[in-house]
Amino acid sequence: MKQAVMFGAGNIGRGFIGGLLAQSGYEIVFADVNQAMLDALNETKGYTIFVCDTVCSEQTVEHVSALHSADSALVDAIADAELVGTAVGLGILPRVAPTIAKAIAKRQELAMTSNLNVIACENAIRASSQLKASVYEHLSADQKAYADQYIGFPDCAVDRIVPPVTNERMVDVSVEAFYEWSVEQSAFAGEVPTVEGMHLVDDLMAYIERKLFTLNTGHAVTAYLGSIKGYETLQESFKDPAINAFVRDTMAESGAGLVQKHGFDPAAHAAYIEKIAARFQNDYLVDVVDRVGRSPKRKLASTDRLVSPLMTAKGFGLPYQHLVVGIGAALCYTNGEDPESVEVQETLATQGFMAGVSTLTGIEDAGLLNEIYSAYLALKTLS
Ligand SMILES: NC(=O)c1ccc[n+]([C@@H]2O[C@H](COP(=O)([O-])OP(=O)(O)OC[C@H]3O[C@@H](n4cnc5c(N)ncnc54)[C@H](O)[C@@H]3O)[C@@H](O)[C@H]2O)c1
Ligand SMILES: O=P(O)(O)OC[C@@H](O)[C@@H](O)[C@H](O)[C@H](O)CO
């Protein structure tokens, strides 16, 4: 069987990419640091994906094994693989890079001329390219030349809502029916592997931004406004009429910038927003505000789902007030169990609001910082 290694046996690793790889005939080696999950996967050697939507169905995934991320056997597994995926979170990519680098070095030692493609399935702009930069930090000039020839790092956009759901067996996972995995065709090394459900595209940036700056923008604003109002689930928050209308307007605001930037058809983009709004209302798959709002420092970064669409809209002279409020809401978010939430609040407290927001978002325009401050103060009175 063809072999794939998947870093991250979490929700997306098992519930999305693992499912596509399995249905395409791959044997999957999951690499994770969660020992309980590793043990469970090695015992069951597979799992079930419950597709929870108006119509429910199941997918059985077989031919699965698992290794700890620090296990040296992982180097051999990657050396034998055709595909490597990650779904670990953007901040973890530098931690998995050394192992991928060792496997590339091993492939070179063995004079292997088969291709390996490494795809980082993270919510970020060009995550595979970011991973490649980390991997290359661990390679010599000679190894880099080998990697340039035989190893690909195609970027992708990954879309399927997979919340943490407690199933009877911890290996099983619950997902929505919708999925879209758009991968940059031209960036593959060698022949493109056949993965049923992988959508090969040429204009990847348009796909990444369409997804990250529509679904994830709306999702984040739903979570942060919901948190201010004391909602625990995304569904409760999105059913609040004021939040619902606000989030739709925020996605439309971001969308107007995307239409200008990427030349999207406005009607098709409006339909895309409506489809996302319907996905947020999926009562068959309850999601939580703290998952969607997690890692607010990452979400407040200049390249991410709040600030980037704001700057795009502003740059085109389009309205951006909803996005300003979304940033204000993110700055209000507190969750003592989320290290990034703690760090955001510490940054604001130690640097002062304006300097702190500037550090977090990269925004230097004093007028814009003042607008964010006003939105933040108004939201603070509600929390
Ligand atoms: N869940 C979703 O709806 C969704 C959808 C699209 C994209 N994503 C993206 O997918 C990525 C993963 O998200 P998730 O929801 O699956 O998170 P998750 O927390 O369910 O899974 C992450 C997994 O990575 C593992 N991990 C942590 N450090 C590791 C390491 N050093 N080596 C190997 N594994 C390690 C964790 O133990 C965990 O099992 C994120 O970048 C997220 O933005 C998530
Ligand atoms: O994974 P994050 O933290 O970047 O964002 C949280 C959610 O918005 C996200 O996981 C969505 O569920 C997902 O992007 C849907 O495709």
CA of 224 to the centre of ligand 2 (A): 13
Q: Using an 8 Å Cβ cutoff, are 161 and 176 in contact?
A: yes
**Closest atom of ligand 2 relative to the 212 alpha carbon:** 14
Domain ranges of the chain: 2-203, 213-380
**Closest atom of ligand 2 relative to the 287 alpha carbon:** 12
What's the CA gap between 162 and 177, in Å, rounded?
A: 10
Which are the contacts of 124, defined by CB distance < 8 A and separation ≥ 6? 90, 130, 212, 303, 304
Indicate whether residue 260 lines ligand 1 (CB < 6 A).
no
CA of 378 to the centre of ligand 2 (A): 27
Identify the residue whose C-alpha is closest to ligand 2 atom 7: 292
Give me 78's structure tokens: 């990657």
Q: What is the pLDDT of residues 117-167, one digit of tens each?
A: 999 999 999 999 999 999 999 999 999 999 999 999 999 999 999 999 999
Residue 51: beta bridge partners? 57, 175
CATH topology of domain 213-380: N-(1-d-carboxylethyl)-l-norvaline Dehydrogenase; domain 2 (1.10.1040)
Identify the residue whose C-alpha is closest to ligand 1 atom 19: 10
* Coil, strand or helix at 3: strand
Q: Which CATH number fits domain 2-203: 3.40.50.170, 3.40.50.720, 3.40.50.300, 3.10.450.200?
A: 3.40.50.720
**Closest atom of ligand 1 relative to the 89 alpha carbon:** 41
Which are the contacts of 293, defined by CB distance < 8 A and separation ≥ 6? 220, 223, 224, 227, 299, 330, 333, 335, 338, 341
- Report yes or no for ipTM above 0.90: yes
Which are the contacts of 371, defined by CB distance < 8 A and separation ≥ 6? 321, 324
How far from each other are the two terminal CA atoms of the chain, in whole angstroms? 55
CA of 68 to the centre of ligand 1 (A): 15
Q: What is the pLDDT of residues 230-274, one digit of tens each?
A: 999 999 999 999 999 999 999 999 999 999 999 999 999 999 999
CA of 216 to the centre of ligand 2 (A): 6
CA of 266 to the centre of ligand 1 (A): 33
Pairing of strands 26-32, 2-7: parallel
Give, in order, the Cα–Cα distances in Å from 193 to each of 8, 169, 232.
21, 31, 41
Q: What is the pLDDT of residues 41-84, one digit of tens each?
A: 999 999 999 999 988 999 999 999 999 999 999 999 999 999 99
Amino acid at 307: V
Give burial (CB, 10 Å; 0-12/13-18/19+) of 206: middle
CA proximity to 251, closest of 288, 285, 284, 279 = 279
Q: Which ligand is nearest to the CA of 299?
A: 2
